[in-house]
Structure 1
Amino acid sequence: MQEEKTENGNQLVKEEKTMSSTMVRQEMPKFTMDAYDAATGHFTTVSSDDYKGKWAVVCFYPADFTFVCPTEIAAMNAKYDEFQALNTEILAVSVDTKFSHKRFVETEPILKGLKLTMGADGNQEVSRAFGVLIEEEGVALRGRFLFNPDGICVAQEVQADSVGRNVNEFLRQVQAWQHATKTGEVCPAGWRPGKKTLPVNTDTEKMTGRVGDYITIEEILN
């Protein structure tokens, strides 16, 4: 809260407005930045407009030439064709320059054959807009955000730097979100394509308080 004085000396209390700490249900922040397209080996420019009308993953990592980061990038790349089959674009982002990205891809063996585009957030504005910038260190947390074709974030995962993320779990989430969006059904814990969903779009009243009549814990964990 802040206090302000009026012309006659009276004090008014001004309420500060703070943004939510989550990106979920918010629109993708507007951005434009330099990038390195590893598939072509050329520098390019990317912007939030490039992802309009598409499912999109924006994946932040702390830095090039580190240890956990290349394993995450390589894992996302290994599943690249599966994400593409789901019409889902991937953008990897760190605060490194596009020149650093190029050299990183060319020298790190685990990144051989990389197809991803790597955003260069040199002024740290994109990391800050997504809420993952560590201000005192000038690097981003491991933040991964999934946006639907309307540009709204439906899922996010943010971690500190010592533990890498699971690409298989994230791919599962993309599949689940696309299914839920298409059908109006909802996906229980651990849902994968072909497993049972919960048809709340047609049986809301019947299902209320009776989810166990539709699905068992064995089916959820299987």
Structure 2
Amino acid sequence: MSLIGKEVLPFKANAYHNGNFIEVSEADFKGKWSVVCFYPADFTFVCPTELEDLQNEYETLKSLGVEVYSVSTDTHFTHKAWHDHSEAIGKITYVMIGDPSHTISRNFDVLNEASGMADRGTFIIDPDGVIQTVEINADGIGRDASIIVDKIKAAQYVRKNPGEVCPAKWKEGGETLKPSLDLVGKI
């Protein structure tokens, strides 16, 4: 069953954020746009490249009113150790959520039950706490954070402009479509 259009299910978890341990819940996703990026495990290979790339886009995302959360089934303690020992992860200033109970990974349907680790899942959540995009990648396929920025811009545009949609490869300022009988068979 698709998670698109569904409200994020309740959870509470510990996280590492800018030198502190904090508690995070689904309530933190409300009132602003959120990007939640699940990844398999700390101290691995593809994961630090993705998380560093996400950090490189973090200022742009924040300027769009977006908060970023990374999630793995590791603990918040492991996130701190990784942050302290990895040059790439040491740059991260967004929230790193620990999910050792697997609650969040199950809520977002990204838990690989056999390995106990999360799949590479990216979710864009609107200010109402409703999931607007879902992307799941195989373990060996890293994500490009610049695409997340484009998806956020499209999601925000559609929310602000009911009745309009963003076509493939849409970029901010680009032409949109207004679905109507007149367009049927003409695209």
TM-score in same-fold range (> 0.5): yes
The alpha-carbon deviation at position 210 of structure 1 amounts to 2.3
Residue 104 of structure 1 corresponds to 82
| C-alpha RMSD of matched pairs (Å) | 1.1
Residue 219 of structure 1 corresponds to none
Match of 2:107 among 122, 126, 129: 129
Residue 144 of structure 1 corresponds to 122
Secondary structure of 1:161's partner? coil
In the alignment, residue 195 of structure 1 is paired with which amino acid? Answer: G
Query: Are the counterparts in 1 of residues 67 and 94 from structure 2 also a CA contact under 8 Å?
Result: no
Whether 2:10 is the aligned partner of 1:30: answer: yes
User: Which structure has the higher relative contact order (CA within 8 Å, separation 6+)?
Assistant: 2
Match of 2:172 among 193, 206, 209: 193
Could you say which structure has the larger radius of gyration? 1
The alpha-carbon deviation at position 113 of structure 1 amounts to 2.5
In the alignment, residue 143 of structure 1 is paired with which amino acid? Answer: G
Residues 121-156 of structure 1: per-residue CA shift (max 9 Å, x gap): 011111011110011111000011111112111100
Return 5+ residue gaps in structure 1 as ranges. Answer: 1-19, 212-222
Secondary structure of 1:74's partner? helix
Residue 178 of structure 1 corresponds to 156
In the alignment, residue 184 of structure 2 is paired with which amino acid? Answer: T
> What are the equivalent positions in structure 2 for 1:44-83 lying under 5 Å apart?
44-83=22-61
Secondary structure of 2:150's partner? helix
Mapped to 1, the partners of 2:88 and 2:95 lie a distance apart of 16
Mapped to 1, the partners of 2:107 and 2:158 lie a distance apart of 28
Mapped to 2, the partners of 1:103 and 1:85 lie a distance apart of 29
Number of equivalences: 186
- Between the two proteins, what is the percent identity of the paired residues? 39
TM-score (norm 2): 0.95
In the alignment, residue 35 of structure 1 is paired with which amino acid? Answer: A
Residue 220 of structure 1 corresponds to none
Secondary structure of 1:109's partner? coil
Match of 2:138 among 141, 147, 160: 160
The alpha-carbon deviation at position 208 of structure 1 amounts to 2.5
Mapped to 2, the partners of 1:31 and 1:174 lie a distance apart of 24
Residues 73-130 of structure 1: per-residue CA shift (max 9 Å, x gap): 1011110011111111111000111110001011111123211111010111110111
The alpha-carbon deviation at position 163 of structure 1 amounts to 1.1
The alpha-carbon deviation at position 29 of structure 1 amounts to 1.4
Mapped to 2, the partners of 1:132 and 1:111 lie a distance apart of 22
In the alignment, residue 179 of structure 1 is paired with which amino acid? Answer: Y
The alpha-carbon deviation at position 160 of structure 1 amounts to 1.7
